[in-house]
Amino acid sequence: MALLEFQQVRRDFEVDGAPARTVLDGIDLRLEPGRTIALTGRSGAGKTTLLYLAAGLLRPTSGRVLFDGRPLGEIPADELALVRRRRIGLVFQNNLSLSALPVWENAALPLLLEGQTAAKSKAASIEMLERLGLADYADRPTTVLSGGQRRRLGLARCILGRPDLLLADEPTADLDEVTAADIERFMFEWLTANGHSAIIVTHFESIERAADQVLRLENGMLAPNSKSPSR
């Protein structure tokens, strides 16, 4: 069974009584457990909208989104919040709830909450921070981080929380292309090796080979990226 499935999903947006605009149209997508998707498309193509639909934070205008075979629209709100907390990791710049704790501790929260020792949690956290280029900030308060650094911290925390499904919106957008591509490649490989599924929005063509599937949003529709090698 697919972990995540979009069935003929359409999403319209209405702004100030103007006629509704269709942003996504007839989206069909299947994400199997342990598989990853790199999602590309121009600004405004609907990438963030698609991630919100996948997380159940937005409802389709028509069509269905299924998680583990269950339509998200049929899961009661409180249960959906639990599913999101336990099984879906979200990395969006605007909704990161980071406390003023040191950076390493913020990243390690899932491990600490699981009951792992502080020493073990810190070691795992520092290793992940190193891999994501944030090691220099490990002992600093989270408040000193830039927006892009916060997003990467959110990513570190998400990965350490081992969600079944990771949804990340351009997690490395603050970095130069070489570093970003390196980090994203590591991320895709780590996720796949550990049996996690993910949809990651990326602008980097060079990263696309590390994902199982590369999809491009264009004119509201999803297409395989013609630039990606077939595999």
Binding region for ligand ATP (CB under 6 A): 13, 15, 23, 41, 43-49
Q: Closer to ligand ATP at the Cβ: 29 or 107?
A: 29
- Find the part of the chain contacting Mg ion (CB under 5 A) among 45-53, 117-125, 126-134, 174-182: 45-53
The Cα 177–Cα 173 span in angstroms is: 9
User: Tokens 């699981």 belong to which residue?
Assistant: 114
- Minimal distance, residue 212 CB to ligand ATP, in Å: 21
Q: How far is the CB of 72 from Mg ion (least distance, A)?
A: 20
Q: Check residue 48 for interaction with Mg ion (CB under 5 A).
A: yes
Q: Shortest CA distance to 73 belongs to which of 88, 57, 84, 87? A: 57
- Nearest by Cα to 168 from 177, 183, 179, 176: 183
Q: Which of 2, 71, 68 is nearest to 32 (CA)?
A: 2
**Closer residue to ligand ATP in complex, CB, 105/208:** 208
Return the number of the residue (46 or 171) whose C-beta is nearest ligand ATP: 46
Cβ proximity to Mg ion: between 58 and 66 the closer is 58
The residue among 22 and 192 lying less far from ligand ATP, judged by its C-beta, is 22
Q: Choose from ligand ATP, Mg ion, none: what does 77 bind? Cβ within 5-8 Å by kind.
A: none
Interatomic CA distance for residues 70 and 132, integer angstroms: 34
Task: Report in angstroms how near the CB of residue 33 gets to Mg ion at its nearest.
Answer: 26
Which of the stretches 40-48, 94-102, 159-167, 176-184 binds Mg ion when contact is defined by CB under 5 A? Answer: 40-48
Residue 103 C-beta: closest distance to ligand ATP, Å: 26
Question: How far, in Å, CA of 46 to CA of 139, rounded?
Answer: 37
43, interface contact from ligand ATP, Mg ion, none, CB < 5-8 Å by kind: ligand ATP
Give how far the C-alpha of residue 211 lies from the chain's centroid of Cα atoms, to the nearest Å.
Answer: 13
Q: Are 33 and 96 in contact (CB under 8 A)?
A: no
Backbone angles phi, psi at 89, to 5 degrees: -105, 130
40 part of the interface to Mg ion, by CB under 5 A: no
Angle, helix 147-160 to helix 177-193, in steps of 10 degrees: 10
Q: Does 202 bind Mg ion (CB under 5 A)?
A: no
Angstrom distance (rounded) from CA 169 to CA 151: 9
Q: How far is the CB of 25 from Mg ion (least distance, A)?
A: 18
Beta bridge partners of residue 213, listed in sequence order? 37
The residue ranges that bind Mg ion (CB under 5 A) are 47-48
